[in-house]
Amino acid sequence: MKPTIISKKASNWVDRGEPANRTVRRILAHYLQRLDEADEAYLDEHANTMIGMVDADATEVNLAEYLLALKRDAGEMERDARTARMVAIGVWHAAKAALVRDFAERVLRGDVPSIEPTPDSFSHWVASKLLSPQELERFERSE
């Protein structure tokens, strides 16, 4: 799905509708010192992985651990974990901004069905799924 371009003259990549991958890839390239065109596939793979991590609710701490693992795999040791943490915070925010924007666009297009809240409490819903009819009746009387 291609995001809607709000304005080609917008001052930032989010408002221009650009994907997060390009921005995250650029952040990784500088952090990992992999600025050669031959590194594009490597950077693309890890940018997509990190965006997926953010989409799956990873924290910046999880992303920092991932960055440190990339450094270790390359035979380098990050001397300052704070640097990895700061880079991870930047990656997390870049990915989250694009994910939120993309979700909002899907909502505005009507691609996301609205969810009607249930009048049932969570505890009653769980009880109705787990208890026999007799047990459920006792549970309801005790509420």
**What digits encode the pLDDT tens for the residues 17-50?**
899 999 999 999 999 999 999 999 999 999 999 9
The answer to whether the predicted template modeling score (pTM) of the entire model surpasses 0.85 is no
Are 85 and 64 in contact by the 8 Å Cβ rule? The answer is yes
Q: Is 25 exposed, middle or buried (0-12, 13-18, 19+ CB in 10 A)?
A: buried
More confident position, 32 or 11: 32
Are 48 and 56 in contact by the 8 Å Cβ rule? The answer is no
Calpha distance 58→50 (Å, rounded): 9
Instruction: Identify the pLDDT of residue 5.
Output: 55
Calpha distance 39→5 (Å, rounded): 28
**What digits encode the pLDDT tens for the residues 120-129?**
888 888 899 9
**What digits encode the pLDDT tens for the residues 57-90?**
999 999 999 999 999 998 887 778 899 999 999 9
